Chains A and B, each alone.
Chain A
Amino acid sequence: MTDVVISSKEGKIKEETEKKDIISIQHDCFKKRLKITSLKEELKQFKATLNKRIQRKKMILEVNKMQLKTQMEELYNSNATLITLEDQLKKTTTDGQKAVIKFKIETLKTEIAKFESIVKMYNSTVETLTSEIKDLESGKTTIEMTTEITKVELEM
Chain B
Amino acid sequence: MTRLPLFTTELEDSRFGISSSTSASVSHHCGVYSGVTIKGDIGGTSTSTTTTSDINSQIIEKEEYAQKLREEYTKIKEVTIVQKEEIYESITSEKKIIEETEKVISENKSKLTTLRQKEKELNTKITTATESSEIETYKHELTSLISQITTIKNIIKSQTQKKITTTNKITDETNKITEIDSKVDGAEYDANNAENEALTYITEGVEATYVVQKKHIHDKKKSVLKVKETEYKEKKYRYEEEKIKITKTITEKTTKLSSYEQEISDLKDRLKAQEERITSTTKEEEKKTLEREITNIKNEIERNKKISEEYKSEINIFKTQMANMMMNWTMYYQNYTTIRAETYNTEEESKEYERITSNRRRHRNHKNTHITKINSHKKKAETHRHACEETKKKVDKQKKHFKKQRYDLRCERSRHEHNSKTYTKEITIEEKKIIELRNKLTVVKEESEKIKI
Hey, which chain B residues are within 8 Å of A13, CB to CB?
none
Q: Could you give, for residues 130-151 of chain B, a 1 whenever the CB lies within 8 Å of some chain A CB and a 0 otherwise? A: 0000000000000000000000
User: Which residue from A8, A30, A52, A56 sits with its C-beta under 8 Å from B198?
Assistant: A30
Binds A, one of B72-80, B299-307, B410-418, B431-439: B72-80
A18 CB–B CB distance under 8 Å? yes
Looking at the assembled complex, report how far the CB atom of B33 sits from the nearest CB atom of chain A, in whole angstroms. 11
Interface size of A as a range: 20 to 34
Query: Which secondary structure characterizes the binding site on chain B?
Result: helix
Hey, which chain A residues are within 8 Å of B345, CB to CB?
8
Contact A41 B206 (CB under 8 A): no
Contact A29 B30 (CB under 8 A): yes
A120 CB–B CB distance under 8 Å? no
Hey, which chain B residues are within 8 Å of A114, CB to CB?
none
Hey, which chain A residues are within 8 Å of B75, CB to CB?
41, 45
B166 CB–A CB distance under 8 Å? no
Looking at the assembled complex, report how far the CB atom of A110 sits from the nearest CB atom of chain B, in whole angstroms. 21
Closest to A38 in B: B74
B34 CB–A CB distance under 8 Å? no
Query: Which secondary structure characterizes the binding site on chain A?
Result: helix
Closest to B202 in A: A26
Alpha-carbon gap, A38 to B199, bound state (A): 17
Alpha-carbon gap, A8 to B342, bound state (A): 11
Closest to A46 in B: B78
Contact A33 B67 (CB under 8 A): yes
Known: A30-B63, A46-B78. A23 touches B202 (CB 8 A): yes
Kindly count the residue-residue contacts between A and B in the assembled complex, taking CB atoms under 8 Å apart. Answer: 66
Closest to B349 in A: A12
User: Which residue from B3, B66, B78, B199 sits with its C-beta under 8 Å from A22?
Assistant: B3
B354 CB–A CB distance under 8 Å? no
Known: A19-B210, A38-B74. A45 touches B79 (CB 8 A): yes
User: Which residue from A26, A37, A38, A52 sits with its C-beta under 8 Å from B206?
Assistant: A26
Contact A30 B82 (CB under 8 A): no
Hey, which chain A residues are within 8 Å of B199, CB to CB?
27, 30
Q: Could you give, for residues 46-76 of chain B, a 1 whenever the CB lies within 8 Å of some chain A CB and a 0 otherwise? A: 0000000000000000010011001101110
Hey, which chain A residues are within 8 Å of B31, CB to CB?
26, 30
Hey, which chain A residues are within 8 Å of B206, CB to CB?
19, 22-23, 26
Hey, which chain B residues are within 8 Å of A45, CB to CB?
74-75, 78-79
Alpha-carbon gap, A22 to B73, bound state (A): 29
User: Which residue from B1, B67, B74, B198 sits with its C-beta under 8 Å from A42?
Assistant: B74
A19-B210, A27-B202 known; 10 new pairs, CB 8 Å cut-off, are: A22-B206, A26-B31, A26-B202, A26-B206, A30-B31, A30-B195, A30-B198, A31-B195, A53-B82, A56-B85
9 closest A-B pairs by CB: A45-B78, A41-B74, A30-B30, A26-B31, A29-B30, A38-B74, A26-B30, A41-B71, A34-B70
- 22 residue pairs bridging A and B, Cβ less than 8 Å apart: A8-B345, A19-B207, A22-B1, A22-B4, A23-B202, A26-B30, A26-B31, A27-B199, A30-B30, A30-B195, A31-B195, A34-B70, A34-B195, A38-B70, A38-B71, A38-B74, A41-B70, A41-B74, A45-B74, A45-B78, A46-B78, A52-B82
